[in-house]
Structure 1
């Protein structure tokens, strides 16, 4: 499975939590997710810094300066980043659940991400694990293996 075919696949299964997703589909999607959010985050940061730097340099500490800083923090780029993050939340969860299914695990293991550090390490271990070579409770081996 190529980079673009995996992105198409994840978006076409936007909220599909059943079935299986092979390693290429999951990891290409993860790369896409991190790169797009990283680029949007960088754009947001540059805009915010450009708006805040003069305020900080002036040494202003009054309410007007605070209002200007808040306007800088919540600039339009922030809402673009927020909208994008919310738009890819469901497909990201869905592909993670399908990837867990591919390794023979319940999708409920995705809740491990709420455990700081340990949960993240376990999820990485689960996600790099090889696919279950046979059909399992969630279907046949995906073609993208």
Structure 2
């Protein structure tokens, strides 16, 4: 949960790098929250809570994805590869799952060398 909250606190931070753990834990908690909200929405026949949550987490999700791409040494423009039908999403998934560069790159120092700020 700390990784999710850390990504939300850095909601508009498109600079720097994000570890795989930060990205995937944010994605997991986000997916679970969406699943719960969709279930609630189907039960009460309104999807308003889902839409509100989706709008609230759109920018943090984009920011942590961009930082994750930065950790692998790729610019944010690589996010657009997801628009390529069929293979684009798979290529982006591979980029997001790839281990980050061990050495500092042009986006900052290795996030593994600094502990998560509480």
TM-score above 0.5, yes or no: yes
Q: Does 1:121 align with 2:93?
A: no
CA gap 1:115/1:45 in 2 versus in 1, 3 angstroms: farther
- Cα distance in 1 for residues equivalent to 2:110 and 2:36: 34
From 5, 11, 19, the equivalent of 1:22 is: 19
Q: How many residues align?
A: 114
Whether contact under 8 Å (2:41, 2:48) holds in the other structure is: no
Q: Does 1:130 align with 2:99?
A: yes
Aligned-pair CA distance for 1:144: 5.9
Relative to the length of structure 1, the TM-score reads 0.74
Whether contact under 8 Å (1:104, 1:136) holds in the other structure is: yes
- Cα distance in 2 for residues equivalent to 1:129 and 1:91: 21
Long gaps (5+) in structure 1: 49-74
- Is the radius of gyration larger for structure 1 or structure 2? 1
Could you list the runs of 4 or more consecutive aligned residues of structure 1 that deviate by over 3 angstroms after TM superposition? none
Long gaps (5+) in structure 2: none
Aligned-pair CA distance for 1:91: 0.3
- Cα distance in 2 for residues equivalent to 1:125 and 1:140: 22
Report SS of the residue matched to 1:21.
coil
- Cα distance in 2 for residues equivalent to 1:130 and 1:28: 15
